[in-house]
């Protein structure tokens, strides 16, 4: 991140929780809360604001209506440049695995100390993953049993199939109703997750792993 403060939105259907989070984060010089949302519709509107786009969404898992995990999937599809950090009272590893599959970069518990929540935010903003201490070992064990390909999200698999068909980023964007910039971000994420350097190697991989 640059010297400029990172822009954060808080997504939780409990105003008191948002107030507590804002109070914690307002004391951190390099973080800035630019908006709050109580539901998925409000969160998506904040994410779509190109005049003040967030860098990270701190998102509750158990919201009424659309869950935080479902919302994380929407963010990953439409706004892949916005990092998502899940915040939950549930230390259920299955929830964590679902959040990661949806595109979240981390999962931290609501009763974590302020220092850990800030550490999680900083890690996710830096392009890393972060899980609360009690979940980290179990997640490492679960992830060690998956191949990199198995960790791809449904949207990333769609992009991979389109690359295998020889489509350009512009054509993929038109096919899936995305912006070209969003498609390019997905391509970068694919290369990072699959540890692939060049475009030719990515396309070769896409052809070899194309879904029938």
Query: What are the residue ranges in the chain where pLDDT is below 50?
Result: 1-2
Q: How far apart are CA 202 and CA 192, in angstroms?
A: 10
Ramachandran class of 60: left when φ > 0, alpha when ψ lies in -120 to 50, beta otherwise: beta
Fold of 149-208: Arc Repressor Mutant, subunit A (1.10.10)
Burial readout 50-87 (b: 16 or more C-beta within 10 A, e: otherwise) = eeeebbbbbbbbebeeebbbebbbbbbbbbbebbbbbb
Answer yes or no: pTM beyond 0.85. Answer: no
Provide the residue ranges of all domains of the chain, joining segments of one domain with +.
Answer: 6-144, 149-208
Q: Say if CB 152 and CB 160 are below 8 A apart.
A: yes
Q: Residue 152: what pLDDT?
A: 84
CATH superfamily of 6-144: Response regulator (3.40.50.2300)
Residues 6/30, Cβ–Cβ less than 8 Å = yes
Over residues 84-125, the pLDDT tens digits come to: 999 988 887 888 888 988 999 999 988 888 999 999 999 999
């Amino acid at each position: 991140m640059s010297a400029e403060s990172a822009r954060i939105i808080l997504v939780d259907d409990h105003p008191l929780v948002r107030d507590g989070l804002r109070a914690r984060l307002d004391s951190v010089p390099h973080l800035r809360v630019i908006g709050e949302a109580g539901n998925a519709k409000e969160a998506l509107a904040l994410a779509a604001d190109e005049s003040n786009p967030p860098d990270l969404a701190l998102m509750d898992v158990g919201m009424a209506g659309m869950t935080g995990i479902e919302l994380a999937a929407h963010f990953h599809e439409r706004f892949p440049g916005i990092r998502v950090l899940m915040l939950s009272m549930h230390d259920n590893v299955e929830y964590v695995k679902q959040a990661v599959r949806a595109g979240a970069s981390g999962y931290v518990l609501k009763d974590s100390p302020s220092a850990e929540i800030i550490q999680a935010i900083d890690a996710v903003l830096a392009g890393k993953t972060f899980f609360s201490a009690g979940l980290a070992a179990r997640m490492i064990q679960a992830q060690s049993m998956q191949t990199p390909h198995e960790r791809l999200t449904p949207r990333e698999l769609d992009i991979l199939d389109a690359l295998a068909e020889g489509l350009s980023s512009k054509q993929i964007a038109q096919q899936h109703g995305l912006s070209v910039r969003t498609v390019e971000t997905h391509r970068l994420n694919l290369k990072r997750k699959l540890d692939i350097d060049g475009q030719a190697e990515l396309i070769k991989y896409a052809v070899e792993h194309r879904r029938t």
